[in-house]
Structure 1
């Protein structure tokens, strides 16, 4: 290989890459037009190949060192820039994307919530009419503790908060994912899980009400339940979206309907996981804490629920300048 001729032929690429990198290092990656970003990636691959060839042909330590610096600078901008874009996409989703998909799927969320509420009302009504109904749903040891000992069971969390919090998170995420996966059973499993959880909360609510423990019980439930229950409703909506794609694809082919509604379901799932993690932390450390007064626990629940409602109602205002770019 004629080394001098090769250097002469390749040097314009090296100079061009150095010029682009200097621009990025002064003004940031966002200052580049899309054409130069593509050029950056192409030149990086080209110069990396030149470096490998220079090492093989032993063209000189000085040139190899300069090419190494150039490729190192390029790598930093190409891959760190990609990671920044990924994190920006994540932030964009949680700021605007999740509220948008919640608004787009509100009908499914309403159905999921209604099924839960129906189950809770049925269990509540039957339990008040006939307390023996409780034994069909509520574990016997809980009934005995509340009815005979006049105590709630939340004290078992105290002293083991980290472990309890982790177990609560895992259980809640498992229930939610089962509700989502239940969509593949044409929604039957999803409907069952949502309805059964409604029955359970309604029966337990009746149990504590019958034994005059409703106030401390709901003080325990409300701080974490203000996030946990909506997350379960959203999980149910995800399962119903998948069931919709299977049963009623409408104008789409079934496979295309699964892609469309499945993507919406996946977005809901990405949104509910942080809710369940936060709810698990609250349920482990705040809800059972006897040092926190019950009125404050109710206030925490109200603040979190209000925040969640306002957050899900967010809409991104698109400026006219943005529309001109579309």
Structure 2
């Protein structure tokens, strides 16, 4: 579609909405949200086919004004939760995929570096994890239960403590985006180093399979969510460092509002991961192998589907809807 055709088909709707935005108090929250979704679709289309044009700058500006109006003194309603999960968050996740993939690449590179470092230097793990944890793990290995750390507490206290810790760690990774993307990247790298070093340690003890099965019961969700939180932090830092056509302050505010929704969407993932670690992982040694594999496979399938595949479907559906309406 030529740019002039795109403008002519949508100009009246944009102008009408811009006029309504001058007196947004007469619009219901749902009307405003629906208009915003259409507008973000137009913006995404313009970014793809008409980059570096006045049309893109105009839609950028109008989207920013709409976004600020939606979240100015607006209380979230319970009725919006299904729409948030089914539409609003997936649209954000679709645009965030490159940042998630960058975060994953950094994490995996750090994982490999940590594994190699611990493999060639037995003291490397002690440097990053401390003597106490390493010695405790060695004692557990001697007792024949290398993953005994997951059964040292009662289920409920462990579930609550682990969940709080996971949420804290992920939000810390995210908040470091305030130091530009480099802050979050450093934290992703640090976490990857630690995981890789632990896996190399268990490999040295001929326990890599045991540790992987035990850790990934909950770690599939937990580590995936940390990587996704890293992507959210990179997004926030990116909007701070590269404001584009927005004033830096407005760009940063937009980046925070966009990325914090990703973090909100990750909280249930951490709760489920905490539940698995508190109530299920402790039975890693007595569980049937197929049960263990099924938990890991279901967890991975959910992450890939909801955070990568489903958002593409939602985005395409809205693009098709706009084209049909036009």
TM-score when normalising by structure 2: 0.68
Match of 2:183 among 157, 170, 189: 189
Residue of structure 1 in register with 2:304 after alignment: 309
1:240 aligns with 2:231: no
8 Å contact from structure 2 (residues 107, 188) kept in 1: yes
8 Å contact from structure 1 (residues 119, 199) kept in 2: yes
Question: Residue 147 of structure 1: CA displacement?
Answer: 4.1
Question: Residue 275 of structure 1: CA displacement?
Answer: 0.6
Separation in structure 1 between the aligned mates of residue 91 and residue 234 of structure 2, nearest angstrom: 18
1:213-292 maps to which residues of 2 (within 5 A)? 213-289=207-283, 290-292=285-287
Match of 1:300 among 289, 295, 299: 295
Deviation beyond 3 Å, 4+ runs, structure 1: 145-149, 153-156, 318-326
Higher relative contact order (Cα pairs below 8 Å, separated by 6+ residues): 2
Relative to structure 1, the CA distance from residue 275 to residue 110 in structure 2 (aligned partners, 3 Å threshold; closer, same or farther) is: same
8 Å contact from structure 1 (residues 249, 257) kept in 2: yes
1:211 aligns with 2:205: yes
Residue of structure 1 in register with 2:7 after alignment: none
Relative to structure 1, the CA distance from residue 90 to residue 149 in structure 2 (aligned partners, 3 Å threshold; closer, same or farther) is: closer
Separation in structure 2 between the aligned mates of residue 87 and residue 323 of structure 1, nearest angstrom: 31
Helix, strand or coil: the match of 2:223? helix
Over aligned residues, Cα RMSD in angstroms?
A: 2.7
8 Å contact from structure 2 (residues 115, 196) kept in 1: yes
1:173-184 maps to which residues of 2 (within 5 A)? 173-184=167-178
Separation in structure 1 between the aligned mates of residue 169 and residue 280 of structure 2, nearest angstrom: 22
**Larger C-alpha radius of gyration, 1 or 2?**
1
Question: Residue 200 of structure 1: CA displacement?
Answer: 0.6
Separation in structure 2 between the aligned mates of residue 182 and residue 237 of structure 1, nearest angstrom: 11
The runs of 5 or more residues in structure 1 that have no matched partner are 1-34, 39-82
Question: Residue 280 of structure 1: CA displacement?
Answer: 0.6
Match of 2:124 among 133, 142, 147: 133
1:142 aligns with 2:157: no
Helix, strand or coil: the match of 2:170? helix
Deviation digits for residues 7-44 of structure 1, max 9, x if unmatched? xxxxxxxxxxxxxxxxxxxxxxxxxxxx9x99xxxxxx
Helix, strand or coil: the match of 1:252? coil
Aligned length: 247
Residue of structure 1 in register with 2:164 after alignment: 170
